[in-house]
Amino acid sequence: MSENSLMQPIDATGASVEEAIESGLAKLGLTRNEVIIEIVEEGSRGVLGMGARAAVVRLTPLRQPSPSPQRVSPNKRSWKQKRLARC
């Protein structure tokens, strides 16, 4: 797979690496198997909440998300679909 076929990566943040990944996947509408995950910053809780840093991950989609399926107009149904619709 060439580099040109990949989509642009996005950076996502969260309280943990797992939350950052889930946030990024939700934005892209993809699953873990459809992206390359790179941990940019693991983040930390800090001491007593002070100095806490968010986790940052970079998600690079391996493919374009599939467009949502479009409804078939009743006029563009196949003869078989029209026949079944009459039954």
pLDDT in tens, 56-69: 999 999 976 555 55
Return d(Cα 24, Cα 37) in angstroms, integer.
10
Higher local confidence (pLDDT), 46 or 69: 46
Residue 25: which H helix or E strand, with range? Answer: helix 17-28
72 or 22: which carries more pLDDT confidence? 22
pLDDT value of position 1: 47
Answer with the residue of higher pLDDT: 5 or 9.
Answer: 9
Res 32: pLDDT = 93
C-beta of residue 57 within 8 angstroms of C-beta of residue 17: yes
Per-residue confidence (pLDDT) for residue 57, from 0 to 100: 97
pLDDT at 77: 62
Burial of 8 (0-12, 13-18, 19+ CB in 10 A): exposed
